[in-house]
Chains A and B, each alone.
Chain A
């Protein structure tokens, strides 16, 4: 299942739009984020997992790929979005 969401990152005093794509596979394990994520963004997968648990949702147990486009450096913003994907 593939979901696309709009996000944004701040670049200097301007904001640039970012598309966040989340896709989950039918096989595999360990989620991954591609598109040059900053460390803070990489860690966010674990926050998302924890939030899912505390709020009674299930994290898919197969491989999840998150893509941030365009491939720049992003910071904290995109988390919210990746778990929105599940709400759909």
Chain B
């Protein structure tokens, strides 16, 4: 493999990892790749990967009975586990916002999609960026899948090996449909595939083009995207957690504790309508973010750090893995169907009463009902509780602010 330059040098190529995997499957003895791709392809065991920089090396190699170049050997496991928790950011950097941190903890534990709603400068982006630090670590299998996609897209840095951290993709809101889901003459993976096994963060959700948001609906359900073109139909995996952020209205200060919203009547509703019902349907947690008061900003109290949150998340995920071990394809609470919901998310009489009261009082829609049950199941898992207690339900109910009919009318 390799791209040849005029003087015989060999330049790096895209997708050397999938090629190496395929080569091993077909029981090839070895593989010659450009030096810059050697570490990437060398992750594959039981295959001799030779990195070369010039065509003469290749010719010498074959004329000397395949000697003269040492195969690149990578200890995948060691490198993988070495850099897994190497984060530069931490939840402890965020002052206050305990309720948001809690909501993100729930989102991470159950794999729920979430939307953060709040005025500018409240810290929505800062919080969302820290989400990968509390997610459970990638398994080797997941890491391989993610690395493969990045390898095909040519997004791996030179001399890179396995991606050991969950990806965090935050495309700008001018993104096109094709860039988001993937495509092109020879289809390339889009942002949702690059965020496979990680987080897709859409900042300022209503600013995205409507068509762009709608194309995401189906991949979110199927956890993969099929790109069909005249000549080829390709499948790209796209199992991601969607985290979105938005202002509550065009001016940004609707529902702000101190400032007045200056939007004309109807503008707020119009702004919210940019996000379609079906998309909102797939977002389990609606979290309202309020700005941090100065007294808390200057507080030097030590905040809960990512590591301690992550431990709780991992425990909750283990409970879920145990529960869904007979259901292939399901690994977190966010993915259960409404049929399974009735079996798994049982609530007692007190809970029923509470839910009924809340739905009537807050005018919650039918779609909110399922979401509340799922989220309360995750909260119960976080607390290590077998049953969904009323207090968990109560907590889940408050994460449905956009379903409330009183909002923005």
Contacts and interface: CB of A to CB of B under 8 A. Distances in A.
B292 interface: no
A12 B234 contact: yes
A77 B1 contact: yes
B152 interface: yes
B3 A79 contact: yes
Nearest to A80: B2
Given A15-B19, A80-B32, 8 more contacts: A13-B237, A14-B18, A15-B23, A51-B4, A51-B5, A77-B19, A80-B1, A87-B59
A15 B22 contact: yes
A80 B58 contact: yes
A34 interface: no
B28 interface: yes
Given A47-B5, A50-B6, A54-B7, A84 B62 contact: yes
Given A10-B15, A11-B234, A76-B13, A51 B22 contact: no
A16 B152 CA distance: 13
A8 B22 contact: yes
B interface, over-half SS: mixed
B28 A13 contact: no
Contacts of B18: 10, 13-15
A26 interface: no
A83 B3 CA distance: 12
27 contacts: A10-B15, A10-B152, A11-B232, A12-B234, A12-B236, A13-B148, A13-B152, A14-B18, A14-B22, A15-B15, A15-B19, A15-B21, A17-B23, A38-B186, A44-B4, A47-B5, A51-B6, A54-B7, A55-B7, A73-B231, A75-B186, A76-B13, A77-B19, A80-B10, A80-B32, A80-B58, A84-B59
B318 to A, nearest CB: 29
A44 B58 CA distance: 18
B353 to A, nearest CB: 50
